[in-house]
């Protein structure tokens, strides 16, 4: 039997990252790959399609689930960044 143990407290290879709010953007300022908050969940923007009165966003969450949402032109979103 081996006595090898992993010391997680002193292992520099594990870094805990968290999302930090860095700005508030309107829908018209969003770009592909932005991380924003929708329905209390941080999602990444995959595509943006301009509509007559807003935008259609294809988004993906941390679990790889994709969804399409329609937002108004002046809706505001928290822009997030991993820190």
Instruction: Give whole-number Cα distances, 28 to 24, 53, 71, 77, 79, in Å.
Output: 12, 11, 10, 10, 13
CA distance 65 to 13: 28
7 pLDDT higher than 60: no
- The confidence band for 16, taking pLDDT boundaries of 50, 70 and 90, is confident
13 pLDDT higher than 90: no
pTM beyond 0.85: the answer is no
Domains and CATH numbers, the chain: 26-82 (2.30.30)
């Amino acid at each position: 039997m081996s006595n090898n143990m992993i010391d997680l407290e002193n292992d520099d290879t594990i870094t805990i990252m968290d999302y930090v709010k860095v700005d508030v953007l309107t829908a018209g300022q969003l770009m592909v790959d932005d991380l924003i908050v929708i329905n209390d969940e941080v999602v990444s923007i995959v595509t943006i399609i301009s509509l007559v009165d807003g935008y259609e966003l294809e988004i993906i969450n941390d679990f790889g689930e994709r969804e399409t949402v329609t937002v108004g032109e002046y809706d505001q979103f928290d822009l997030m960044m991993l820190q």
